[in-house]
Amino acid sequence: MAVKIQNQFGKIDISNDVIATVVGGAATEIFGIVGMASKNQIRDNLNEILKRDNYAKGVVVRQEDDGVAIDVYIIAGYGTKISEVCHNVQEKVKYNLASMLGVTARSVNVIVQGVRVIED
């Protein structure tokens, strides 16, 4: 599935993989995020073996009638205020999707899968 945008110049199709990459890049920039938790072990482990960057790791994109719904699976840093980190992820993801792709995120669900000590 993809997001389809029609304008006066023609049609634009944006795949879910592109959306997931933008979301993963936005989430990893937030202070307090130590890593992304994997939802697709086979694909993510293959990318690690091939030494590819995988910003889509831990991101699930679902199509809805009036936009997309995003699930972001994160690992938070110990000692950070987890609710504030999650709120920052939601705001950054919504902003990046709107500004970079012109896609409206109807919901951004942040699921904390673990807590890890932040290395100095």
- CA–CA distance, 96 with 98 (Å, rounded to integer): 5
For residue 45, the Cα-to-chain-centroid distance in whole angstroms is: 18
- Return the closest-CA partner of residue 105 out of 69, 55, 75: 69
Task: Encode pLDDT of 64-110 as tens digits.
Answer: 877 899 999 999 999 999 999 999 999 999 999 999 988 889 999 99
Task: Give the Cβ contact number of residue 27 at 10 Å.
Answer: 27
The residue type at 24: G
pLDDT digits (tens, 9 = 90+) for 25-63: 999 999 999 888 876 655 555 455 444 456 778 899 998
CATH dotted code for 15-116: 3.30.70.1350
